Every structure is written in structure tokens, then in C-alpha cells.
Structure 1
Amino acid sequence: MSQSEPENALKSERSRLRRAHERGLYDRGAVYQVLDALPLAHIGYQLDGATSVLPTLQWREGDHVYWHGSAASRAIRAMEGAEVCLTVTCMDGYVLARSAFHHSVNFRSVMLFGTAEKVTDEDAKAASLKTMVDHIFPGRWDALRPMTRQELKATALLRMPIEEGAAKIRSGPPKDDEEDYALPIWAGVVPMAMELKPPQSDPANLEGVAMPDHLSRIRIG
């Protein structure tokens, strides 16, 4: 967040939290941290008048969020130039309270609203796809066979300016009713985290092809 930008820069009537409003954050710093933490997003859109949701990978470049798909995809075609809602959620733990009512989860989430724009410039598209690959797999793009013109043509790239939305975050122990703290019931948090397992080589690898050093730099987010 720049010094001149207000804390509520992304706040709007539809992004404003009505319940648990104390968990809401509307500054770019909070939103960007969640977007950068997990590449998996879900995008809500309209397809032939029906509400649909597409799970896909997202990545951020500056003040825009990007995603890609097949140029022949009905979902991608329906999103182009249309209003969409993009969400990213990281679950950090189960929260066990002294009553069922106050059980919860610790999480970090983002919801963004905006119009999906198609990136049509071929050079800009190729540069963004490189950014995606190197964001998830640092250093891998330069080790790959170059993308062909036909592959680039078959790939559609959409982006959305980050102008309206909110981050919602819950952390810490359970919040019970005051009288329930005297009950002899265990309460607390069961932390959770996604992790990467050791790489498994493709059986079709050529003999003698070594695992690349850049695999050691892969992280989630």
C-alpha cells in the first residue's frame, strides 16, 4: 500500500463485511499477501445465464491478478469482458471451542470483484505466462522447450485490475462465551498447513536426466 492510498482503498458497498467486520481488511498489502500465498483460486461467473465457478491457478503482477485457460474454453470466453468474482482461501487450522456453536477455522481469504480483460498482445501474453511458471516453479521456464506459436495461440490469458474487494482473516484461539471458560472441556487450535512432498520422477524420463536444482526452490506461494 502506498503512503497516499487509504486503508480502505478496495472497500465498496459489496465488498464491505457485514458480519465479523473486525476481520476485514481493505488495503492492498493484506490482499496481496493472500493472493501471493496460494496460487489456487475460484472464479465465479455467468455461463448461459447460470452461475458457475471455475477453479484455476492465479498469479499477481503488480495491481492485476491473472489466470489462463484454453482459448476454446467456454468458461474463459464467458468471462472475457464480464463481471467476475475471484476468491482465494488458505486454511490455517481448526478452532475447537467449548461449545459447538463457537467452533471455527483459522483462515486467510480474499474476495475480489471486477471485469475480466483478455490479454491479446502476444508478447505480453508470453511474458505473463513466463511469470506464472517462474512464480510457481522458480527458474524452470528457461529449462523448458520454448513455447510454440500454436501453443501460445491455444492459450487464453485473462486479467483483472485489483480495485474492489477485501481480505478476511481469522487467527488465534477460540472465543467462547464468558461463562463457558469455567467448563472442564479442552479447547484450542489444531494447526494445518499444505506441504510439498519429495518429487517423483516421470518413468518416461530419459536415462541419465538428473533432477534439476531449481526443484529445491519450489514453495507454495
Structure 2
Amino acid sequence: MTDQPSYPITPTNRIKRAHERAAYDHASVHAILDAAALCHVAYVIDDQPYATPTMFWREGSRLYWHGSAASRMIKTIRQGVKACVTVTHFDGLVIARSGFHHSANYRTVMAFGTARLLDDPDEKYAAQIAMVDRLFPGRTEGLRKVTDQELKATSFIYMDIESAAAKVRTGTVKDDEEDYALPIHAEIIPIHTTLGTPEPCPRSHTEAARGADLDLYSDGSSLEGALTQAYGETFD
């Protein structure tokens, strides 16, 4: 735990297994969220659980995501529904001397709250801008303006984080003490997500140059680094 502002620890978000890996402070939780662009939103509709992958972003302690206006989730969420938003970074494979201690290095967040539909037209328009600029700072300034029909076809959902927990495993192999003497190879295999060479649209206008809004996304760059910096430039 830290002295920074933290989300309340409740029976819902308390980490029970390997609790020493848990963090509830805003800084730890938000850093994991801001380094990602994709989350899974879990909720229950008519006693059937669903987990929907979607793009998302954070503003303060509020999360936003979008979906089709015709989707099952949107129809259900209009009156508010309890939801769990999960983000995971897969950082490494842990190869141990026993099957029991094979593991993974990871950073994950589970955030809980009540998901609600964003109804105000002005707020929907602002959300459409934030959805793009969160990834590509300033990009919407140079885009064709969104149409009323496009806004009507897209719904935005928000969820104030009521509680959340981060759980992180880092470091090396952690075997039973007596197993270190065994002649069995063990190692960590780090995992990094890097960006590839951009592939311009074959129908791009001859006068359309790649703009500064895409400078963070260059060949060989870290996706996580680009997303974190993009978030900072847009919201900080």
C-alpha cells in the first residue's frame, strides 16, 4: 500500500490469493489502465454472463467505452447495470523447475462500478473526440467532422470506478528452496508488444502526408509506451 489516494478495499475487490501482489492506490491502478487500449467488460443479462472486448479510455476515476447502438449490452445498460472492467498486460512466461511453479509475469486491473449510457448529445460528441485523441493526440482536428447519423449509430458507456484492484507479478522464477539444486533448466521469457511498419491505405490522397498525431506510433516502438504517452498528452 502507498500514501496515495486509493480505491476502497471491499469484499468485491480484495485480492485474497497472493495478496502481496495487490495494489489499490490510484497511481498503480491508473498506470495499468492507461497503458492499454482494449478491455473486457463483464456483466450479466437475464442470468447469462457476458464478457465483451472493447476499446476504452479513462478520465479521472471514470471509464468510457463505446458500442453499437443496436447491441444487447447497450439496450440493457440504459438503466444502469453492475459491471466489471478488466485489463491485463502479459509481461513474461515463467519457466520453473516444477509444474506447480510455472507461471506468468503480468499486470492486471479489475475495476467495478455501475455502467450507464451517455445520453447527452454534447457529451457524446466530446466522447467521440476523446476516443480518437486518447490514442492519437490532436488527430480529430484534422478529420472530417462526425455526422449526426454516425453519432446516432454509436453509443458511449461510462462507469465511475467504485472499487478496483491491481495485481502484479514481476521478477524471476520462484521455486521451492530444495528444487534449486535440481539439474532442471529454468528461465523467464519476457514478452513485449512492439509496433510494426505502418502500411498506408492504398487509396490515400497523393497530398496526404502522415501527420505528427501519429509520431508516437513508429516501427519498432513499444505499444504500451505509445499508449501511455498518448494518454498523458491528451488528458494530463
TM-score range, shorter chain: over 0.9
With 187-196 and 209-218 compared, the bigger mean Cα shift is at: 209-218
Relative distance call for 1:2 and 1:124 in structure 2 (3 A) is farther
Determine the C-alpha separation between the residues in 2 that align with 1:2 and 1:25: 8
1:166 aligns with 2:165: yes
Determine the C-alpha separation between the residues in 2 that align with 1:58 and 1:173: 32
In the TM superposition, residue 177 of structure 1 has moved relative to its aligned partner by: 0.3
In the TM superposition, residue 12 of structure 1 has moved relative to its aligned partner by: 0.7
Determine the C-alpha separation between the residues in 2 that align with 1:96 and 1:12: 34
Q: What are the ranges of 5 or more consecutive residues in structure 1 without an aligned counterpart?
A: none
The letter for the 2-side match of 1:40 is: L
Which residue of 2 is the match for residue 182 of structure 1?
181
Equivalent residues in 2 for 1:59-78, closer than 5 Å: 59-78=57-76
Question: Secondary structure at 2:15's aligned position in 1?
Answer: coil
With 74-83 and 87-96 compared, the bigger mean Cα shift is at: 74-83
Determine the C-alpha separation between the residues in 2 that align with 1:110 and 1:4: 17
With 26-35 and 132-141 compared, the bigger mean Cα shift is at: 132-141
Relative distance call for 1:87 and 1:125 in structure 2 (3 A) is same
Identity score, percent: 47
Tell whether the 8 Å contact from 1:12 to 1:165 is kept in structure 2 after alignment.
no
Tell whether the 8 Å contact from 2:4 to 2:27 is kept in structure 1 after alignment.
no
In the TM superposition, residue 4 of structure 1 has moved relative to its aligned partner by: 7.6
With 73-82 and 30-39 compared, the bigger mean Cα shift is at: 73-82
The letter for the 2-side match of 1:126 is: Y
Which residue of 2 is the match for residue 203 of structure 1?
202
Query: So what's the TM-score if we normalise by structure 2?
Result: 0.87
Which residue of 2 is the match for residue 122 of structure 1?
121
Which residue of 2 is the match for residue 29 of structure 1?
27
In the TM superposition, residue 2 of structure 1 has moved relative to its aligned partner by: 10
In the TM superposition, residue 210 of structure 1 has moved relative to its aligned partner by: 2.1
The CA deviation string for residues 25-79 of structure 1, in whole angstroms up to 9 with x for no partner, is 1111111011101111001112333111100011000110110111111122223
The CA deviation string for residues 121-168 of structure 1, in whole angstroms up to 9 with x for no partner, is 111221122122111122211111011122112211111111212101
Q: Say how many residue pairs are matched.
A: 219
Tell whether the 8 Å contact from 1:46 to 1:79 is kept in structure 2 after alignment.
no
Determine the C-alpha separation between the residues in 2 that align with 1:110 and 1:10: 14
Determine the C-alpha separation between the residues in 1 that align with 2:34 and 2:126: 18
Tell whether the 8 Å contact from 1:68 to 1:158 is kept in structure 2 after alignment.
yes
Which residue of 1 is the match for residue 12 of structure 2?
14
Which residue of 1 is the match for residue 92 of structure 2?
93
The letter for the 2-side match of 1:59 is: W
Question: Secondary structure at 1:116's aligned position in 2?
Answer: strand
Question: Secondary structure at 1:217's aligned position in 2?
Answer: coil
CA-based RMSD: 1.8
Tell whether the 8 Å contact from 2:2 to 2:25 is kept in structure 1 after alignment.
no
Which of 38, 42, 45 pairs up with 1:44?
A: 42
Question: Secondary structure at 1:200's aligned position in 2?
Answer: coil
Q: What are the ranges of 5 or more consecutive residues in structure 2 without an aligned counterpart?
A: 218-225, 229-236
In the TM superposition, residue 3 of structure 1 has moved relative to its aligned partner by: 6.2
